[in-house]
Amino acid sequence: MIVLILLSLVIGILAGYAGLLPAGVQANFDFLINCALCLLLWGIGLEIGGNRQLLRQVGAMGFRIILLPLVVAGGSIAGTLLVGSLLGMPPGDSAALGAGFGWYSLSGVLLAKLHSVELGALAFLTNVSREALSIILIPVVARYAGRYAAVAPGGATTMDVTLPLIVKFVGPDMALVAFFHGLVLSALVPVLVPLLV
Amino acid sequence: MGLIFVALLAGIVMGYLHLLPDRVFQLTGKLTTAGVMLLLFLMGGQMGSDEEILAGLGEMGVQAVLLALAAIIGSVLAVKGLEVVVPFKPLEEERGREV
């Protein structure tokens, strides 16, 4: 999955660099990206809404389950704020990068549209790195920092890409917590990124 | 940006109410994969035709990895902090206690 996705990006970069894209596409990147994004979010919505059992079970778990994604959101943003200030970045920029929570496509597009193509590219790379590093670090965190901490690295991706890893290295009983965690963080990305930048 | 929320909400409602035939619904996983691929291809195209970005990619890559590590470490520490304040127990035990 991640290979296919990264391959699409690389092919896109090469096609753009080599000037292989039709002029009509080049002139309408923003419009086309919006269309793809709407299609994508509609599909994600179908998957969330279609899983009735999941919505019901989450409701039964109570307030503790919501605390987990909220502290992960705070910790992620605090981390990028700290390193961002060491790198000499404006606080709003580095906070918005952290608020991508690993959802590289959405945070990259949002910041490219709201701020600049450069910050969009950095958001994309930062959040791709977060997903890739999570895949490596989840087994390590699960072993040394415990089952709840192991959900944290994946951020918004714990509802899809990193969910199988959490189930494998922490246990199937964490699947629902991890999914809900990813769901809340995914919902926070389009809210927090525009607020922070 | 409003259109994106409408699309997400429309998806959730349509999924929840089973407004689509099962055959179509089973394709949503493929639809989102195709959507992500299309999105990234277009974003790649936009980046690839922007020479300034290509020039900055090397230094940017190092920054990106540092920022990603900071976000991961920050979030793990935050969860450890939460566990001190509100002790989490494995879900099974919690359910058992409440009954």
ipTM for the complex? 0.77
The verdict on A117 and A94 lying in the same domain is yes
> Does one domain contain both A91 and A176?
yes
Tell me which chain A residue has its CA closest to the CA of residue B93. A173
Cα separation of A126 and B65, whole Å?
A: 6
CA angle B82, B64, A188 (to 5 degrees): 45
User: Are A40 and A129 part of one and the same domain?
Assistant: no
> Would the CB atoms of A105 and B82 count as touching at under 8 Å?
no
User: What is the per-residue pLDDT for B93?
Assistant: 42
How many other C-beta atoms lie within 10 A of the C-beta of residue A91? 12
Residues of A in contact with B89 (CB under 8 A): none
Same domain, A67 and A107: yes
Local confidence pLDDT in tens for the 197 residues of chain A: 657 777 887 898 899 989 888 888 888 888 888 888 788 778 777 877 777 666 665 665 567 788 999 999 999 999 999 999 999 999 999 999 999 999 988 899 899 989 999 999 999 999 988 988 888 899 899 999 998 999 999 999 998 778 878 877 887 777 778 888 998 999 999 989 999 98
Mutate to test the interface with A, among B40, B59, B85, B98 (most CBs of A within 10 A): B40
Give the separation between CA B40 and CA A128, rounded to whole angstroms.
12
> How many residues can be counted in chain A?
197
Same domain, residue pair A163 and A96: yes
Å between A30 CA and nearest CA of chain B: 9
CB atoms closer than 10 angstroms to residue A115: 18
* Domain, as residue range, for A188: 52-196
Question: Which among A28, A41, A89 is the top mutation candidate for probing chain B, defined by the most B β-carbons within 10 Å of its own β-carbon?
Answer: A41
Of A132, A193, A126, A183, the residue nearest A158 (C-alpha): A183
Are residue A39 and residue A56 in the same domain, yes or no? no
Predicted local confidence at residue A65, as pLDDT: 86
Q: Are residues A122 and A173 in the same domain?
A: yes
Say yes or no: A111 and A69 in one domain.
Answer: yes
Q: What is the pLDDT of residues B55-93, one digit of tens each?
A: 767 788 899 999 999 999 999 999 999 988 877 655 444
Count of the separate structural domains present in chain A: 2
Confidence of residue B40 (pLDDT cuts 50, 70, 90): confident
Size of interface A-B (CB pairs under 8 A): 296
Task: Classify residue B55 by burial, with Cβ atoms within 10 Å: 0-12, 13-18, 19+.
Answer: exposed
Q: Tell me: do A134 and A58 sit in the same domain.
A: yes
For A32-60, b where at least 16 C-beta lie within 10 A, e where not — what string?
Answer: bbbbbbbbbbbbbbbbbbbeeebeeebee
Instruction: Say if the Cβ atoms of B3 and A34 lie within 8 Å.
Output: yes
Q: What is the 3-state secondary structure (H, E, C) of A66-101?
A: HHHHHHHHHHHHHHHHHHHHHCCCCHHHHHHHHCCC
DSSP 8-state secondary structure symbol assigned to residue A158: G
Q: A98 and A31: one domain?
A: no
Residues A86 and A38 grouped into a single domain: no
> What is the chain B residue with the closest CA to A14?
B48
